[in-house]
Amino acid sequence: MNDLYLIRKNLFRKKLRAWLMIGSIFIAFGIFGVLAGFEKAFNAGQDTAAADRLVTVNKINFTQPLPYAYFNRVRAVEGVREVTHANWFGGYFQDPKNFIIVLAVEPTTYMTLYGNEMDFTPEMRQAFVRDRAGALVGETLATKYGWKVGDRVPIASNIFSQKAGGRIWDVNIVGIFKNKVPQMDTNFMIFQYDYFNETRSFGTDMIGWLVLRTASPDANDKVSKTIDAMFANSTAETSTDTEKAFNKAFLAQLGNIALIVTLVVSAAFVTILMIVGNTMVMAVRERTREIGVLKALGFSGPRILRLILGESIALALIGGLSGLAIAALGATQLRVSLSAFVPGLAVTPDIFVIGVVLMIVLGVLTGLVPALNAMRLKTAVALGRS
Amino acid sequence: MRSLFLQIVAVSAINLKSIPQRFWLSLSTVIAIALVVMVLLSFLAMSNGFRRTLEGSGSNEVAVVLRGGSQAEINSALTREQIRLLEDAPGIARNPEGKPLASPELYLIVDGIKRASNTKANLPLRGIGQEGAAIRRNIKLIEGRMFNPGANEIVVGKGIVSEFSGFELGKTVNFGSSPWTVVGIFDADGTVFESEIWADLPVVQSLFKRNNYFQTMRARLQSPATLAALKNYSDGDPRLKLDVKSEAEYFADQASQTSDLIQKLGWPLAIAMALGALAGALNTMYSAVAGRTVEIATLRAIGFGVLPAFFGTLVESLVLAALGGLIGALATFLIFNGFTTSTLGASFTQVVFHFTLSPALIAQAVVLALVIGLIGGIFPAIRAARTPIVAGLQGS
C-alpha cells in the first residue's frame, strides 16, 4: 500500500464531490487556455515584427497617404537596406460583409521584405511580377473562398473606384502562399500597385505606407530620425517607428485586451480557489479519526502532509490538464471562424507550461491549510474526535 | 395545505439559520456566483454602453448621404456637383432665408495620444459646413466658443478631452505640419460626436489638400417622413445614385458589429464560469444535506412531510444564489458603471463610451444566478427528501 494508492483512494472516497471539484477546476483552466490563446494570437503582430523592420506613415495618421516619390527618397537613405510600399484597398468579395484584407504592393520589394515570414516560391515571384493583374493569396484566405491558382476573381473596394467606373478589380490568382512562422497569418491578398494606381479614379501616385529594413536594429533610431527630418515641414510629414511599436500602438487602440483577459481569468481562479480550498478543508476534517489511526500506525507528520498535498495537487492536475486539452480543442474549432479577428488562435506550449505551473500552485494553496492541520494533529486528540 | 406551507417555512428557516455552520463553504458559493455575475455584467455593460453611445447619436430628422456602397463615412466621397444637386433636393428643411439646412462634410483621421495607454490613436477630424452644428440639435458648447470661419480653429467633444491628452481649451495641436487651436469644448449628450474634433470645412479642405473634396452630406429633414422624398430624388438622378439613410439608421448599423462582438464574448464566458460556480453550489448543498441527515430524519419522524425537506434545501440554495447575484450586481455597479473607455469603432476611429448597466441587464444576471441556485439546489434537495428515516436517525 503505497502513498499513491492512498491518495487515489482518498481523492475518490466521495466520488460526486471529487468530480464536482474536478469539474470546476476543469472549467477554470478551460477558460484560462482559451483566453490566454486569444490574447497571444491577438498580440501576434508584435511577435512577428522583425527587429530591423521600420514602418513610415503619414504623421497626421497612418490612414493618410504619402507621395509616391517618398519610396525612392527613403530608399536612398543611409542605413536602409530595402524598402517597399503598400496600400490599403478596403477590399471585399461580392458582398460588403465579406471583408477581405487586400493590399496593393510593389511586388519585388514586398516579397523580399516579407520573405522570412511568408513562403514566396520562385515560381510565384516570377508569375506575380509578370502578370500586371496578378495576385498572390494567403493560404487561409484561399481556403476560405475555395480559390485556386488560375482563378480570376473580382475584388471590390469600399474606398476606391475605377476610372472606367465601378469599384471592382478583376485579379488573376497566380499563387497561393503559406507562412513560414506559425504566428504569421495568411488571411490576406496582395496585388500589383501599378495596376491599381493606373486604374483608380483618385489618389493617383499616392501610397499608403512604407516598410523598410535597416542594415541592423542598431541603425533603427538613426534611420527613423533621418527619414522624419527629411520630410519635416513638407506637405506630408512622416512618422517612422519600428514595426513592433507600430503594431503595439494599433492594438492598444482596440482597448486593454490584456487587462480584460487577466481580470476574467483571475475571477475564474479566485472562484475555484475558494470552492476547492474550502472543500478540501472539509474533506480532511471528516477524516480526522482516520488520520489519527494512520499516525498511530506510525505515519509521520510530513508523510501525512505529503498525502494531503498530493491529493489536492492530483485534483488540480486532473481537472486542469483536461481543461487545457478541451481549450486546445476549442481553439482549433474557433480558429477558422475567428481568423479575421484573431488569426492563429491556439493553446501554445508556453501557455501549457504556465497552466501546469498554475495547477501546482492551485493544488498547493488549496491543500496547504488542511495538510498542515492534519500534520500537526495530535494522535490522541484525533482518535478522540468523532 | 396550509400546514404543508407552514412546514416548508419552518424547515427553510431552520436551514437558513444553519448557514453559519457552513460559513466558509457557503461564502465561497456566494462569492463564486457574485464573480460570475460580475463578469457577465461588465461585458454586457460594455456592450450596452457602446451601443447606446452610437444609437443615441443618430437622429431620425437628419439624413446622411454617402457614396453608394461605402458603408462608413470614412470610405465615402462626394463631388461638388453632387453636393450642389443635393442642396436643391426635396425633403430638406430650410432656414428663414431659404437656405437648405445641409452640411457637406469631410471626415479625416488624425492622431491623438490615448491617455490610458500613452499610444497614438485614431481620432476623427470633421470639417463641417456652416449649418453643421445647428443640424445636430443636441450640441452645447460647455467651454469657449465655436470656431471662426476661415480660421485654424477646432472645437472638440468632451470625450476627446477626457480620454486623449493635449486637447484642453487654448492648447495648440499639430496635425501634420498645420497648427490648430482648441477654442471650444462641446457636450453632445453622450453621443459619438463627443469623440470628434470639428473644424471649418474649407480650412480642413485646404490644409489637408482636399480642395473640392467632400465625403458626406448631412441635412436636416422637414420631418422624418421626407427621407423617402430625398431618397427618390437621389435614386432618380444618374449623377447621384447615393446611399441616403437617416442618421439613426446609419449609426444603428455601425453599433451592431462591435456591440454584438462584445456580447458574443461575454455570454459564453459567463456561462462557462457559471458551470464552475454550479459545481461549487452543488458541493455546498450536498454537504449541507449530509450534515443535516439526522435533523431531517428527526423532522420526518415527528410528522414533517417529504416536501418540506425538499423545499427547505432548495430555498437555502436559492437564497445563497440570490445573495451572490445581488452582491455581484452591486459590485459591478459600484466598480464599472460609468467607467469611461474607448475603442475603435466602425469608422476606424476611437469611440469614447461609458459602461452602462440597465435594470434589464441586471435582471438577466440575477436570473443566471438563480438558475445556478436552482440547479445547484434541486439535486441535493432530492437527496434530502429521500433520506430514509431509520438510517437517518442512526446517523451515517
Q: Is residue B247 part of a domain?
A: no
Contact B209 A90 (CB under 8 A): no
Based on the structure, what is the number of domains in chain B?
2
Neighboring chain B residues of A58 at a CB cutoff of 8 Å: 176
Grid cell listed for B370: 438563480
Spatial distance between the Cα atoms of A264 and B35, rounded to a whole number of angstroms: 9
Distance, CA of B45 to CA of B245 (rounded, Å): 28
On chain B, the residues whose CB falls within 8 A of the CB of A92 are: none
Asked whether residue B169 is domain-assigned, the answer is yes
Higher pLDDT, B56 or B375: B375
Chain A nearest C-alpha distance from B15 (Å): 19
ipTM score here? 0.85
Q: Judge whether A63 is closer than 8 Å to chain B, CB to CB.
A: yes
Q: Is A271 on the interface with B (CB under 8 A)?
A: yes
Q: How far is B138 from chain A (nearest CA, A)?
A: 27
B241, B276, B297 — which closes off a domain?
B241
B71 → chain A, closest CA residue: A158
Identify the three-state secondary structure at position B360. Answer: helix
Q: Are residues B283 and B363 in the same domain?
A: yes
Q: b or e along A172-210 (b: 16 or more beta carbons within 10 Å of the residue's beta carbon)?
A: bbbbbbebeeebbbbbbbbbbbebbbeebeeeeebbbbb
In eight-state DSSP terms, residue B214 is B
Instruction: Please name the residue that has the C-alpha cell 459602461.
Output: B355
pLDDT digits (tens, 9 = 90+) for B297-308: 888 888 888 888
Mean pLDDT across B332-349: 90
φ, ψ for residue A13, nearest 5 deg: -65, -40
CA distance A116 to A64: 28
Residue bearing cell 427528501:
B385
Q: Encode pLDDT of B220-238 as tens digits.
A: 999 999 999 999 999 999 8
* Model pLDDT, residue B252: 87
Please tell me whether residues B91 and B143 are part of one structural domain. Answer: yes
Look at residue A341 in the predicted model and tell me its pLDDT.
66
* Rounded CA Rg of chain B: 30
If asked whether residues B170 and B112 sit together in one domain, one would say yes
Q: Closest Cα of chain A to B331: distance in Å?
A: 13
The verdict on B149 and B229 lying in the same domain is yes
Q: What is the largest CA-CA distance in chain B?
A: 97
Q: Which residues contact A367 (CB under 8 A, 6 or more apart)?
A: A280, A308, A309, A311, A312, A313
- Please report, for residues B27, B160, B180, B195, the alpha-carbon distance to residue B156 in angstroms, rounded to integers and kept in the order given: 49, 6, 11, 8
In chain A, where the domains are located: 3-44+256-384, 65-235
Residue B166 lies in a domain: yes
Backbone angles phi, psi at B358, to 5 degrees: -140, 160
Q: In this complex, is the C-beta atom of B38 within 8 Å of any C-beta atom belonging to chain A? A: yes
A310/A292 Cα distance (integer angstroms): 19
Tell me, yes or no, if B134 comes closer than 8 A to chain A by beta carbon. no
Cell numbers for A199: 486604374
How far is Cα B342 from Cα B157, in angstroms, rounded to an integer?
Answer: 13
Q: Are residues B300 and B374 in the same domain?
A: yes
* Residue B353 host element (H or E): strand B350-354
Alpha carbon of A61: minimum distance to chain B alpha carbons (Å) = 5
**Could you identify the residue written with the cell 527613423?**
A224
pLDDT average, residue stretch B116-122: 91
Average pLDDT on B141-159 reads 96
Gap between the terminal Cα atoms of chain A? 26
What is the distance between the alpha carbons of residues B107 and B217, in angstroms, rounded to a whole number?
11
- B179 and B284 belong to one structural domain: no
Using CA atoms, how far apart are residues B273 and B268, in angstroms rounded to an integer?
9
Question: B273 and A255: CB-CB below 8 Å?
Answer: no
Length of chain A equals: 386
* pLDDT for residue A312: 94
The answer as to whether B248 is a domain residue is no
Among B196, B213, B241, give the residue marking a domain's end. B241
Domain boundary among B207, B241, B275: B241
Return d(Cα B308, Cα A99) in angstroms, integer. 60
| Interchain proximity B209–A235, CB inside 8 Å | yes
B29: chain A residues, CB-CB within 8 Å: 275
Handedness of CA B263, B269, B271, B273 (dihedral sign): negative
Query: Is the pLDDT assigned to residue B395 strictly greater than 80?
Result: no
Give yes or no: residues B137 and B101 share one domain.
yes
Axis-axis angle for helices A301-337, A288-296 (nearest 10): 130
Q: What is the pLDDT of residues B82-107, one digit of tens each?
A: 999 999 999 999 988 889 999 999 99
- For residue B373, the Cα-to-chain-centroid distance in whole angstroms is 27
Residue B72: predicted pLDDT: 86
**Spatial separation of the C-alpha atoms in residues B279 and B158, rounded to whole Å:** 46
DSSP H helical ranges for B120-237:
132-135, 158-163, 201-207, 227-236
A 10 A CB-CB count for A249 gives 19
Low-confidence ranges of chain A (pLDDT < 50): none
* Yes or no, beta carbons of B279 and A16 under 8 Å apart: no
Determine whether the interchain pair B35/A21 forms a contact, defined as Cβ–Cβ distance below 8 Å.
no
A276 neighbors A362 (Cβ within 8 angstroms): yes
Q: Please say whether the dihedral angle defined by the alpha carbons of residues A288, A290, A291 and A297, taken in this order, is positive or negative.
A: positive
Q: Which residues of A fall within a CB distance of 8 Å from B273?
A: 27, 31, 267-268, 271
Q: Tell me if A27 and B275 make a contact (CB, 8 A cut-off).
A: yes
What's the first-to-final CA gap in chain B, in angstroms? 32
Cell of B381: 434537495
pLDDT of residue A383: 84
Q: Is A236 on the interface with B (CB under 8 A)?
A: yes
Chains A & B: contacts with CB separation below 8 Å: 144
Domain, as residue range, for B127: 68-241
* Contact criterion met (CB < 8 Å) for B121 and A252: yes
What pLDDT score was predicted for residue B382? 93
Are B93 and B101 contacting, i.e. CB atoms less than 8 angstroms apart?
yes
The enclosing H or E element of B279 equals: helix B247-291
Cβ contact A296:A380 at 8 Å: no
Q: How many CB atoms lie within 10 A of CB A248?
A: 17
How close A125 comes to chain B (CA, Å)? Answer: 32
Q: Which of A23, A167, A237 sits opposite B279 (nearest CB)?
A: A23
Please tell me if residue A284 touches chain B, with a CB cutoff of 8 Å: no
Higher pLDDT, B166 or B395: B166
Q: How far is residue A44's CA from residue A21's CA, in Å, rounded to a whole number?
A: 34
Measured at the CA of A108, the angle between CA A102 and CA A109, to 5 degrees, comes to 85
CA dist B64 and B196 (Å) reads 17
Q: Which of residues 144-163 of A touch B (CB under 8 A)?
A: 156, 158-159
Whether B287 sits inside 8 A of A282 (CB atoms) is yes
Residue B62 included in any domain: no
